[in-house]
Amino acid sequence: MEREAFGQFLLRAYRSSSFRLILFCILTWLGVASLVFFLLHEGRQQIERKAEIEVLGVSAILEARLSGVFQRVQSDLEQLAATLPAEAYAPSAAPASRGDVIRTLRMHSRRFSEVAGFRVLDANGVLVFDSRGAAAGNSFAQRDYFRVFDRGGGNELFFSEVHTDPLLGHWVLGVSVAVRRDGGNLAGVIVALLDLSHLSSWFESVAVGERGVVSLRRLENGEVLLRRPFLPEQANKPLPADPLQRQVESGGRSGFVRFHGVTDGVERVFSYRRLADYPLYVAAGLATEDYLVEWRRTRLFGCLAGLVLFLALALLLTRVLKAGGREAETAGRLRESEARYRMLAENSHDVIWTVDIPSRSYTYVSPSVGGMTGFAPEELVGQPFDVRLTQESALRLAREIDLRLRRIASGDRAASVVVSEFELVCKDGAQISTEVVSSYLLDADGVARTILGITRNISERKAAEHALKESNRQLHARIEEIGRLQVALQELAVRDSLTGLYNRRYLDETLDREVSRARREGNPLSLVMLDIDYFKRVNDTYGHQVGDEVLRTLAATLSADIRAEDVPCRYGGEEFLILLPNMPLETAMMRAEAWRAAVERLSIAHGNFQLTFSISLGVAAYPDHGKTPDELTRCADRALYQAKHDGRNRVSVHSL
């Protein structure tokens, strides 16, 4: 019995309009709240994906730059180890030999701004030569870049701990290679000192936010070599229980990981990439606090909007329930005389109306017109049907009525019901969008005499449709922007940021491909290497800004006189290299001379005078001078060295 009574109570409650209204408001609010939660969740997912793309781009850029630096340093160290004479590792080297060795070290040191200098140590770790002119005799036997080879550590490239060099006075990273005699005994060690302040400027230039982190670490133990922001106390120390290092040790050359920082507790999303075949990797991290700022503001606004909607629904529900109570009292007094109109008109939010077709005037308008337009029904009854429509809507309605009447007269009964949209002018002058369902009522003779219509305010729906279209437009615009950023990122990976020419990484890939093509098809291939004469004087005298302008001007001059298939590249510092496919040596020499003459005519305004400069060029060709990319590059480099030795501002061809 109790169950039946409770079931009857629920049935009566469900049949109650008040209960259904309360249930509708609750479900409406829950639906809107669920939608807001879904949109916030999707928004965060999109921001997280964007953050992963951004941090991946940062790590890719730094990996490309650092790998390029280490490859150049390794190439120079291997070249020095192969070319320096045996007496170069003896403190008692002949004066003539000492001069040649120091000039060679200085030439290699000037090629790359990242290298602070080169040193040659003897078998006891004593300094024999230094590219910066430091006095010989200092002992570096306790440095790890010497001890690793003194203890029989093989001949592989070794990366030392970061330290403050006593001769240079700033933080450096030593990269060393051993030189051994025929019997395997250690003859000496050649060391390249990388300037960490120069590498730090790269770390500072990338966009990782205020709390972002960029670091260079050892692969085997996560030891920190360089970090942004730089913390001297963390240098050469592995971070204990570091999730990033565990992820790296699990395998893979790159990946993502999210965790709270061991030192500062900040949550970040990290992307790491190994540096070629070196025992190092670079990691970049974006702080969650940085890239979720706007999303959290949106979340706060969404919560406030949900609260406002809840309060508005509660207020509306209260008022509707009160109005329902008053309508129930009125219904009791007027049930018999107004039952039909109470259900049809007074309880409808839509406006119900009738129009007399012969006079084209309203004969009835339901009271809900006041809530929609501000007009009372008596203000519209007897007025022309188009009195409150915009001019364009009134013209369309008149044409539509004429068309419908002709179709009905021809026997087309389907023309008696039509759905249209019109713009309506309210009493306060505002315009609203309406949807009108018109039914043409026929008399006994089949003639349309009256139009019964229902008008509904669809302004909010129109606004929602417009907002949806705008959201779709913005979404497509963002997708296109992401595509452009991806293309720009690919372009940045192969372009030099100062001159706009290709970088050395792109040249290495292209040179291998073009040499293979020339070997396969039997076509000629030339290589022109050039650099600016006395460029250091320009930087020392006028400053690096003027030096940068000289580099850009030279790059523009070269770009203005090349073919589509030519590959101009900034090789390093003030040194450039131009790959000329399908071009024999004689033509390449003429091209090089044309470039030399064009540069000689250049003039750069600086203050009250004009700055001029010249270039020296070395030319080598495949297969006359070299049959591999490395051989061809070395021949062009030697030809350039010969041009400088012969007096600069000239073109020299490699001689066999």
Say which DSSP state 334 is in.
S
Q: How far is 624 from 612, CA to CA, in rounded Å? A: 35
* Locus of tokens 């009134």: 394
CA torsion angle 67 68 70 73 (round to 10): 170
Q: How far is 438 from 416, CA to CA, in rounded Å? A: 8
Nearest to 640 by CA among 554, 532, 529, 526: 529
Sign of CA dihedral 347, 351, 352, 353: positive
Catalytic annotation present for 574: yes
Quick check: bond before 91 cis, omega within 30? Answer: no
* Active-site residue, from 392, 574, 593, 631: 574
Q: How far is Cα of residue 485 from the mean position of the Cα atoms in its chain?
A: 5
Q: How far is 376 from 539, CA to CA, in rounded Å? A: 84
Pair 105, 83: CB distance under 8 Å: no
CA torsion angle 332 333 334 335 (round to 10): 30
- Taking CB atoms within 8 Å and a gap of at least 24, the contacts of 531-535 are 531/573, 531/574, 531/575, 531/576, 531/615, 531/616, 531/640, 532/574, 532/613, 532/614, 532/615, 533/613, 533/614, 533/615, 533/616, 533/644, 533/648, 533/649, 534/613, 534/648, 535/573, 535/574, 535/613
**Encoding tokens for residue 284?**
């970049």
Residues 6+ apart with CB under 8 A from 44: 292, 295
DSSP, collapsed to helix, strand or coil, labels residue 564 as coil
Nearest to 541 by CA among 484, 611, 461, 473: 611
Q: How far is 219 from 246, CA to CA, in rounded Å? A: 10
Pair 182, 199: CB distance under 8 Å: no
Nearest to 557 by CA among 496, 598, 497: 598
Helix (H) / strand (E) element for 272: namely strand 267-274
Pair 167, 134: CB distance under 8 Å: yes
Pair 532, 611: CB distance under 8 Å: no
Q: How long is the chain?
A: 656
Task: Round the CA-based radius of gyration of the chain to a whole number and report it.
Answer: 41
DSSP, collapsed to helix, strand or coil, labels residue 435 as strand
457: number of Cβ within 10 Å:
20
* Locus of tokens 């309506």: 424
Pair 127, 119: CB distance under 8 Å: yes
Q: Transcribe 93-109 into DSSP letters.
A: --HHHHHHHHHHHHHHH
Q: How far is 22 from 28, CA to CA, in rounded Å? A: 10
Pair 527, 580: CB distance under 8 Å: yes
Paired with 254 in beta bridges are 273
509: number of Cβ within 10 Å:
13
Kindly list the catalytic residues.
574
